[in-house]
Structure formats: structure tokens, C-alpha cells
A and B are shown apart, each in its own frame.
Chain A
Amino acid sequence: MDNLLILLLFPLVGALVLAFVKQSGPAKRLALLFSVIAFGLTIPFWSQFNPGAGMQFEQQFAWIPALGIDFHIGIDGISLPLVLLTNVLVPLIVLSSFSAEHKGGFYALVLAMQTGLLLVFTALDAFTFYVGWEVALIPIYFICALWGGEDRIRVNIKFFIYTFFGSLLMLIAIIYLYVQTPSGDFALASFYNLSLDNATQRWIFWAFFIAFAIKMPLFPFHTWQPDTYTTAPTAGTMLLAGIMLKMGIYGLIRWLIPVVPEGFAAYGWLAVLLGTIGVVYASLIAFRQNDFKRLIAYSSIAHVGLIAAAVFVWNVQSLQGAMIQMVNHGISVVGLFMLVDIISRRLGTRDMGKMGGIAKVAPALAIYFLIIVMGAIGLPITNGFVGEFLMLIGIYQYSIWYAAFGGLTIILGAVYMLRAYQKIMLGPLNEQTATFKALEWHETVVLCVVSGLIIIIGVYPQPLLNISEAAVTDLVQQIGSLTR
């Protein structure tokens, strides 16, 4: 099976079917079936993938010939990890929302978003990329606004307008680049071959950068994120934090830096700085949080800040670190939000002050929780460590100071994560936590898979690193590293 278009459209077919399923029981099972089959369809792509062979499984169809727009998709070493991440996470996300008894419409939106996300990661034509980018936004808006918590209308309108404004800026840049191409088309290859003057490259850099910085989010464009993550339903937050923010980082690697290398050389240092500031800033705020979900939201900003800084440093180690950390962060954040969901649904609150001693009544949960927390912190043997280590080596080659501050993410992460663990799981029981219900089967599956992946990738990350190594080396040779 090597037809990329089928891989992309399969979740959409599932979404159309699920839109008409009314009862939650069949809807849940059908959604799980579709997402697991989608995952199964991805495996041949991994096994047949040849890391050194550049872009593979390409398909190209004329879409709007008058404007030189083609529907052009393909996978290479940069996109395959993210495609795998998406198709591994969506079944887990579907499983995680089983308790909420959603009807078919909810799962239809989740699967429709999956197609949009896959389209973004595999697009080789700028118009296709933009369409995928926006198509992923509509389902998540409805998921968060229809099934979210308090104040969801205002928060999600803010999220939508903020993100949409960024993508419109990107649209201007894309159209401008199209006008500049000699062949008058939107192909990625044509954009790479453009030679633009410095002034143009600079503003195009900013247009793309702001769009991606809002998506990730990068300090100071992060203000939409904590509220949106906190009021969204569990599946919505997992989709946002697990996969959607990777769209921003992927955009940096694929669409920003290789297209405007001069702009990158001029302003890349600023991005590294913003990322590093975000690490410290968000970690300090995370430490002050009593709401467990909000704490994880801020920790996500911190982790992504480090990934963004690593991307902009642009050497082989930091990029490899960023690539694998994208996958790791996706997995661990799904685990973390699953924990939030499990605990908050049973206790009716996310306030850590009201929790305590759950480890005594739910020892299995305590073990999974600990593994996931260690993965989030970046303890050796967990996947988090592999990514952080590689990124810090890369950033160290740029500047020891940035590496030092970036490395603070590990220490600060340990502080707030272990504090959260202590407050929630350890200490004395109170009346609420004493009656902690046992884990249900789907929660156990999600936690088990996530913990398993955390340890497996932590111990043996080489298969994942192999996927992206050749592509990353090529990119770094094409566009020189950032020098201090």
C-alpha cells in the first residue's frame, strides 16, 4: 500500500460516515475502527520508506491550472515522523474520549481534522498546504466550542481570530512568492529556487514566522493558548497540543527557513531568543499553577520554546533533536492530558490543592503517572531525554548561554512536574480522593501505550532518528547553520 492520497482521504471518509451515526456506542467503536485502520495503513509507508531517497510516494494532480496550483503531496524524512505521530495519536485520542459518550458528530470532527493535519504535513504545493492548514482549524474550533468548559465561546473566538490572522499573513506571503516564481506556480520546489533580494526575504520571513509563532505558540504570541487548552475537552486539547502545534514547527522547517535563507540569517537569532525566553517564562508560570491542566498547558509552551530554538539553531544535532522531540512531546502530552482527564472527572476538580494520596488507592495509575511525568521532565531512559539531549548539544554549538538557559527546562520541568505529582498522588488522602474509582479499560490502554512508547523510544530511539537523519543533513547543508 503506497497510495498517499488514500491515506489522507481515509479519515475523511470515516468522518463522513460518522456524521450520520447518532448513538454514542456504535459511534465510539466505529471511530476507533477507522482510526486504527488509518494507523495500520501508515505502517507500509514506514517499512517502504527509504531515508536517503528524498521525497517519496509523490502524487500530483492539476487543481487550478489557471493559477498554477496543483494538488501535490509526498513524504520525506521530515514529514514521515509527523504523519506517524498523527496516525498513532488519533486512535489514542479517540480512546481517551470514550467516557464522555460523544455521538458521531464529535468523532467526525476528529477524523476530519486528521485529514487536514495529514494534508499539512504532506503538502508540496503552497496552496494545498494553506488549505490543509485552515481545514484543520475548523473542526478543532467546533470541537472546543461545542464540548468545552466554561467561557468556551469567548476563548475559542479569540483562538480562532488570532490563529486565522496569522494564517492570513502567511497567505499574503505565499501569494507574493507565487507572483515571483518564473513558472507561475505554487510548488515547494519553485519556492526553494527563488532568489529574492534581502528586503523582500525579511518581510516574507516575518509573515511566515508570525503565523507559525502563533500556532506553536512562541512567546509572546502565546496568550491564546492557556485559556484555549484549559476550556477545551480532553480530546480537543490532545489534538491541539499533540499534533496541531507541530504544524507550526513543521512549517518552520519546511516552508520558512529554506524559502527565505537570508531572512533566517538576519532574524534567526531573535527566534532562538524568544524560544529560550519562553522556556523560562512559561516554566515559572507553570510552577505557580494550581490548576493541573493549565500547568501542563504552560509546560507545553516551555517545551515548544526549546524545540523552536533548536530548529532555528539549524545544525544536524539540534534539528534531529527537534524532530524526535516533536514526536516525543506529542506522545507525552497526550499522556499528561489523559491523566488530567482521569483525575478531574473522578474528583470533579482540577485544583491540585484539593487532591492528595491517590497513589494509595490507585497504584497502577501512580506508576503510569510517574513514567509519563519522567518522560515529560526528560529523565534518561525516557524519550524526553533523547530529544532534550540532542537539542541541547545542538544549541550548545550555537551558544553556551542559550544551552544553559534552555537546559533550565529540564530542571524547572522537574520542579513543577514533581511538585504536581507530589500534590496529586502522594501525601494524605482526603474524603474526595479516598473514593477514587478504578481505571477503565480504555484509560488503561491509552496510559499503557503512552508509557510503553515513552520507555521504548527512550531506550531505542534510533529507528525514529534514522527516518529524518538524511533529510535533516541535506537541509543543513543547503542552508548554513546560524552562527553567533
Chain B
Amino acid sequence: MGAIITLSILAILVLYLGLFKANKSLLPVSLAGLLGSGVLLLLDWNKAAEPLYSGMVLFDRYAIAFSVLCILITVLVLMLSKDYFDRISTNVAEYFALIIFSLTGAVLVTSFHNMAMLFIGIEIMSVALYILAGIRKKDFGSNEAALKYFLMGAFSTGFLLFGITLLYGASGSFDLAEIRQFVVDNPTGIPAMFYVGVLLLIVGMAFKVGAAPFHFWTPDVYDGAPILITIFMSTVVKAAAFAGFLRLFLYSFEPLQDFWVPVILIITIITLFVGNITALVQHSFKRMLAYSSISHAGYLLFGIVAIGSTSSGSVLLYATAYSLATVIAFGSLILVKRTTGSDDYESFNGLAKKNPRLALIITISMLSLAGIPLTAGFVGKFILFAGVLADYQVLLVVLAVINAAIAIYYYFRVIVAMYFKPTEREVVAYPINYQVVFVLAAILTLLIGVYPGLIISLI
């Protein structure tokens, strides 16, 4: 609770600092505020969670773990943002403020206990992002990204609202616990309206996480937005949206599994294939990562397909692994693009000779995304596969395995470009803030890969 207040005040404070042109203090203040909110969240770790604000939010361990993940990744993103926004515009404070506002929305989405709060959280998270996606005012790609995201986002939020309304109509409440009570008390007498509401919620949430066939906004928005915003979108927003998606279904709709699991199963299979096959044919590294993020959404959906006591731990682990690797992947693209000006794989040619440490860290990130053992990405996939196989969905895992093999091809293209395509190029400038973030992310990836007990046992 203190975290939400802190984050909101922090964002307003940052806006005021911008007003007074105190640009040098923006980053330290933001980081301090974020770390403070993280600490406030962790203080609640051992307390018995009670719904707050008339049952609107519930900061149980699930919410705290995912919120801390979002805050941690935002800290990494902001550390990368030094000198970044200065190149786009002189009004830098707006970026920080919008990112922190979006993060506030994300915390609400991970901790909601009332459907209205889910909607509010998603809207806060998204509206800030609509602006951030289009923040390069003179760039066509950025404008297209913002408009596409806004129009499709508004449309899908409509579905979300419609679904929430139908659920309210059927069960008489917005509260998660009361809806669960309604479902449990009426095993046979649930009106059709309720089921339709669940389906519409699936549509709305699937859009937010970028699952097929509601994924069409993802490549253009990720590609058009400035890379740092793309990092934020593809990590924090995806993690928070999945946390909200899982929370909703885990708390309220678990008894109705037989109804909605087949729907999500089909969405998962389509998502995996669409994401992987389209990523295969990309020439642009940025677009490849955008499409592959769709496939990672597919893997994360496994946690919801095999809903049960292990879902939250496995989704948390995979979201952490994927976020860390994505920060490195997109972050390295920022550095490489500064010297070559292009998003393509060719920008990475010969990187291993000139920047061997950077190339090694990018390799670790690609191996983690591909799911090679000893990295966090592998353990994430492993646990998700174990959860799904425990439900005997063997076909799904076989399809996932085929997709993982396909994914090797495009993740290894980067490694091949870096190590096996020697090209004359300049040394890429590797500033200290990037070094800190990348090394930290790489060490965490390997650490979690070897000792995942740190994360699994949390929730």
C-alpha cells in the first residue's frame, strides 16, 4: 500500500523537478524512490495480507513478488536511460514520470482484489504507455506505434469492461473472493452470462499480454517505439499483465477449469507457432525480438493452462528469466545501433572481436531465451513443462518442444553474426551504466539457472 502511494508521489515529484529544470537530479530521485517503494513492499512480506481500501487491493506474497520484479526491472531500465532521453527531447522529466506512472498501474494490476481495480490498473499502465510509445514526435514509426496501440488497446479494454460487467451481472460482485464464493456455491447454476464474461476477459487479457490471435499490435508497437520504451513494454508490462491474468484465473475461476482451459490451450498453441514462425523470417533484430516475445507469451500461458499450486512460482520464474534476458537483448541493440544505425542482424557482425565481454553477455541472454540449461530461461521452461505434463497435456509440450527447436535458429543468428561473421567495425561504446546493468542481469540469469530455488520457493 505504501508502495502505491510512494510511486504516485514520486511520479508527481519527478514532474515538478522537470518543471524546475533540475534534469540532473531526475535519475537519482527516481531510482531512490523506486528502491524505497521496493523496500516498503518487502516490509509487508511476512505480514498476513488483508484486502485494503474496501477490498480493492490485496498485497499477498504473490502481489509483492511480482511488484518487486516490476520495480527491479524498471530500475534496470532507468539505469539504462541515462543520456537516452536527452537525445530525443529536452523535456526529459515527462519520460521518467510516465514510466513511473505506468509502473504504478503495473503494481495495481499485480495486486488487485476487485475487478474494477484490475481495469483501473490496466488503464493506468496502458495510457502512460500509449504516450510513451509515440514520444518521438517527428518519427513516423513512433506515431504509428502509439496510434495502433491506443486504438487497439482501447478496443480491447472495451472487451475487458464488457466481461467484467457480465461477471458482475451474474455474480453480483466485483470482488475476487466473492466471485470465487459464487462459483463454488453454485456448481451447476452459473448463468451463461458468467461464462461469456470469462471469455471476454480472456480476450481482453490476451490482448494485453500479446497472445495470438490478439497479437497484431505487438510487432509494430515494439518496433516503432523507442528501444528503451520497448524494453519497458516487453518486460514490466508483460510481467504485470501475466501476473494479473494468472491472479484472476487462479483466485476466481479455477473451479471452472474444464470450461476455459481448452480455450486458453488453443490460444497458447496458436501463439507459440505464430510467434516462432514469424520471428524466423525477420531480418531486423528488433522485430525478431518483438515476435519472439509473442512466443514467450505463449510459454507463459502454460502456467495458466496448468493452473494449480505451482502456477504462480513458475510464471514468476519465467517472467524473471525472460525480463532479464530481454533487458540485455534490447539494451545491446541500443548500443549497437548507435554505431551502425540499423536494427538488422548485420549490426552485430564481428562484435565478438571488438567487444568480447559485451558479446559474451549477449550470448548468455540469447542462450537463456532459447532455453539452454544452466540459464534461467531453461529452468523457467522446465518448470512450465513439468506443470503442464502433470496435467497430462503431452501434445502441448511436444508442440512447445518443436517451437523451442525452431527458436534456436533465430536466437543463434545473433551469436553467429557476432562470432562467425568477422567484419571491420568500430568498437561499440559500452558506458558504465550499461556494463553494470548487463553484468547484473547476466549474473542473475546464470545464478537463477543454477539455483532456481531462490525464486521458486517464494510463492
| Closest A residue, CB atoms, query B378 | A134
Query: Which chain B residues lie closer than 8 Å to A172 at the CB level?
Result: 385, 389, 394, 397-398, 401
**CB atoms of B416 and A153 under 8 A apart:** yes
| Closest A residue, CB atoms, query B370 | A164
Does B251 interact with chain A (Cβ within 8 Å)? no
| Closest A residue, CB atoms, query B356 | A105
> Besides A165-B405, A175-B382, A175-B389, 20 other CB < 8 A contacts?
A64-B452, A64-B456, A65-B453, A66-B453, A67-B456, A130-B373, A134-B372, A135-B373, A135-B374, A145-B416, A146-B419, A161-B405, A161-B408, A164-B408, A165-B401, A165-B402, A169-B401, A171-B382, A176-B394, A178-B386
- B344-388 CB contacts (< 8 Å) to partner A: 367, 372-374, 378-379, 382-383, 385-386
Query: Which chain A residues lie closer than 8 Å to B401 at the CB level?
Result: 165, 168-169, 171-172
What is the CA–CA distance of A164 and B401 in the complex, to the nearest angstrom?
A: 10
Does A33 interact with chain B (Cβ within 8 Å)? no
Query: Which chain B residues lie closer than 8 Å to A127 at the CB level?
Result: 382
Query: Which chain B residues lie closer than 8 Å to A176 at the CB level?
Result: 389, 394
- A126-178 CB contacts (< 8 Å) to partner B: 127, 130-131, 134-135, 138, 142, 145-146, 152-153, 157, 160-161, 164-165, 168-169, 171-172, 175-176, 178
- B58-84 CB contacts (< 8 Å) to partner A: none
Query: Which chain B residues lie closer than 8 Å to A164 at the CB level?
Result: 405, 408
Query: Which chain B residues lie closer than 8 Å to A160 at the CB level?
Result: 408, 412
What is the CA–CA distance of A165 and B400 in the complex, to the nearest angstrom?
A: 11
| Closest B residue, CB atoms, query A207 | B398
- B386-410 CB contacts (< 8 Å) to partner A: 386, 389-390, 394, 397-398, 401-402, 404-405, 408-409
**CB atoms of A179 and B386 under 8 A apart:** yes
Query: Which chain B residues lie closer than 8 Å to A135 at the CB level?
Result: 373-374
**CB atoms of A157 and B385 under 8 A apart:** no
Question: Shortest beta-carbon distance, A263 to chain B, in Å?
Answer: 15
Query: Which chain A residues lie closer than 8 Å to B382 at the CB level?
Result: 127, 171, 175
Does B331 interact with chain A (Cβ within 8 Å)? no
Interface residue from B405, B420, B456 paired with A145 (Cβ < 8 Å): B420
Total A-B residue contacts, Cβ distance less than 8 Å: 75
Query: Which chain B residues lie closer than 8 Å to A161 at the CB level?
Result: 405, 408-409
**Number of residues of chain A lying within 8 A (CB) of chain B:** 29
The 8 A CB mask of B446-458 against A (1 = contact, 0 = none) is: 0000011100110
Query: Which chain B residues lie closer than 8 Å to A169 at the CB level?
Result: 398, 401
> Which of A145, A152, A164, A178 counts the most chain B CB atoms within 10 A?
A164
**CB atoms of B453 and A131 under 8 A apart:** no
Query: Which chain B residues lie closer than 8 Å to A138 at the CB level?
Result: 367, 372
Does B313 interact with chain A (Cβ within 8 Å)? yes
Interface residue from B313, B372, B409 paired with A66 (Cβ < 8 Å): B313
Question: Shortest beta-carbon distance, A70 to chain B, in Å?
Answer: 12
Q: Known interface pairs A66-B313, A179-B390. Does A157 touch B409 (Cβ–Cβ under 8 Å)?
A: yes
What is the CA–CA distance of A408 and B216 in the complex, to the nearest angstrom?
A: 59
Question: Shortest beta-carbon distance, A323 to chain B, in Å?
Answer: 28
Query: Which chain B residues lie closer than 8 Å to A145 at the CB level?
Result: 416, 419-420
What is the CA–CA distance of A67 and B457 in the complex, to the nearest angstrom?
A: 10
What is the CA–CA distance of A440 and B295 in the complex, to the nearest angstrom?
A: 53
- Can you list 16 A-B contacts with CB-CB less than 8 angstroms, sorted by A residue number? A64-B451, A64-B456, A66-B313, A67-B386, A134-B373, A145-B416, A145-B419, A157-B409, A160-B412, A161-B409, A165-B401, A168-B405, A172-B385, A172-B394, A172-B398, A176-B394
| Closest B residue, CB atoms, query A132 | B373
- B404-429 CB contacts (< 8 Å) to partner A: 404-405, 408-409, 412, 416, 419-420
Query: Which chain A residues lie closer than 8 Å to B456 at the CB level?
Result: 64, 66-67
